[in-house]
């Protein structure tokens, strides 16, 4: 007679190594990007909306604001780029909420991957989409007369600054996505918050001269104003460092509040 031996089942570690986490994040980021091939309308939305904003603001407001389109382009192109980055950040929350409500995150939980990878992968993919939108905006601006008056290094720095602020600010939409039960509610948040935030700034005007004092104070201290002024300095010349530091300080402060809240809500929901 032989005695059967019983081997207890091995318990898989719940921890994932940093290297595996990075691979998981990159894989899920690629998943979010490759979906564009099956849904071309998403790429059209990222491309057509920036083109529409540039043309409308340049040709409708340009002659009235600065006397000509060419004179208004150095003012409005950096402003539209900053505004578009904020709106693009809302797509992060929209996509996350869609994945959660459709049960995609339930499938992710059954896989031996990092628990933060779906969240980080979505943010990374949307950062790449924002870079695409910025290139489209600059290309349209070049086509109608806008010119970068600094150098290639300043242009790259403008890309980095914009994407860094957008990632930091996107934690607001991530938090909203974790708290609401429909993707459309994330969009409502975007309209309620982003529109006032972008228009209560110098994104579409040279300065706050002539605006009532209390409103001018709000606009001058807006994070969007400092981001836009830093972008203008990097693209057409002017002060950069102070505006960039203040904009990044705002971004860090926003992420310091909403990132922990988002992660807590993510753990509770996922």
Buried b (16+ CB within 10 A) or exposed e, 79-88: bbbbbbbbbb
Domain hosting residue 151, numbered range: 43-91+126-269
Residue 5 lies in a domain: no
Confidence at residue 154, expressed as pLDDT on a 0 to 100 scale? 93
Confidence at residue 119, expressed as pLDDT on a 0 to 100 scale? 79
Buried b (16+ CB within 10 A) or exposed e, 234-251: bbbeeebeebbebbbebb
pTM above 0.95, yes or no: no
Distance CA(183)–CA(2), nearest Å, equals 61
Picking from 231, 237, 226, 225, the residue whose alpha carbon sits closest to that of residue 157 is 231
DSSP the chain: --PPP-PPPPPPPS---HHHHHHHHHHHHHHHHHHHHH-HHHHHHHHHHHHHHHHHIIIIIHHHHHSSHHHHHHHHHHHHHHHHHHHHHHHHHHHHHHHHHTTHHHHHHTSSS-TTHHHHHHHHHHHHHHHHHHHHHHHHHHHHT----S-HHHHHHHHHHHHHHHHHHTHHHHHHHHH-SSHHHHHHHHHHHHHHHHHTTTSSSS--TTS-HHHHHHHHT-HHHHHHHHHHHHHH-S--HHHHHHHHHHHHHHHHHHHHHHHHHHHHH-
Distance CA(246)–CA(78), nearest Å, equals 17
Confidence at residue 155, expressed as pLDDT on a 0 to 100 scale? 92
Count: domains in the chain: 1
Distance CA(231)–CA(155), nearest Å, equals 9
Residue 223 lies in a domain: yes
Asked if residue 150 lies in contact with residue 57, where contact means CB atoms within 8 angstroms, the answer is no
Residue 55 lies in a domain: yes
Mean pLDDT by 10 residues, the chain (270 residues): 50 63 84 77 74 88 86 90 83 80 76 77 84 87 90 92 90 85 79 84 86 89 93 92 95 92 77
Confidence at residue 13, expressed as pLDDT on a 0 to 100 scale? 47
Distance of CA 174 to the CA centre of its chain: 11
Distance CA(190)–CA(247), nearest Å, equals 19
Residue 227 lies in a domain: yes
Residue 35 lies in a domain: no
Residue 107 lies in a domain: no
Confidence at residue 10, expressed as pLDDT on a 0 to 100 scale? 43
Query: Residue 69: CA atoms inside 13 Å, Cβ hemisphere, count?
Result: 14
């Amino acid at each position: 007679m032989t005695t059967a031996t019983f081997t207890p089942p091995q318990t898989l570690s719940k921890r994932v190594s940093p290297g595996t986490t990075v691979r998981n994040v990159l894989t899920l980021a690629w998943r979010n990007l490759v979906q564009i091939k099956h849904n071309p309308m998403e790429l059209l939305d990222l491309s057509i909306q920036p083109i529409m904003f540039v043309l409308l603001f340049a040709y409708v407001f340009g002659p009235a604001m600065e006397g000509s389109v060419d004179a208004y382009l150095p003012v409005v192109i950096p402003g539209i780029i900053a505004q578009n980055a904020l709106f693009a950040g809302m797509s992060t929350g929209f996509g996350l909420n869609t994945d959660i409500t459709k049960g995609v995150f339930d499938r992710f939980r059954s896989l031996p991957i990092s628990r933060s990878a779906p969240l980080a992968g979505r943010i990374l993919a949307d950062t790449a989409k924002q870079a695409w939108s910025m290139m489209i905006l600059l290309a349209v601006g070049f086509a109608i007369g806008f010119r970068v008056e600094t150098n290639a290094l300043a242009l790259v720095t403008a890309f980095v600054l914009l994407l860094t602020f957008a990632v930091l600010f996107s934690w607001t939409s991530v938090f909203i996505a974790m708290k609401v039960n429909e993707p459309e509610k994330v969009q409502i948040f975007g309209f309620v918050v982003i529109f006032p935030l972008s228009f209560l700034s110098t994104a579409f005007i040279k300065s706050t001269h002539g605006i009532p004092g209390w409103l001018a104070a709000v606009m001058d201290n807006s994070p969007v104003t400092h981001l836009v002024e830093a972008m203008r300095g990097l693209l057409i010349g002017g002060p950069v460092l102070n505006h960039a530091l203040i904009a990044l300080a705002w971004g860090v402060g926003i992420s310091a509040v909403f990132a922990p809240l988002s992660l807590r809500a993510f753990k509770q929901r996922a």
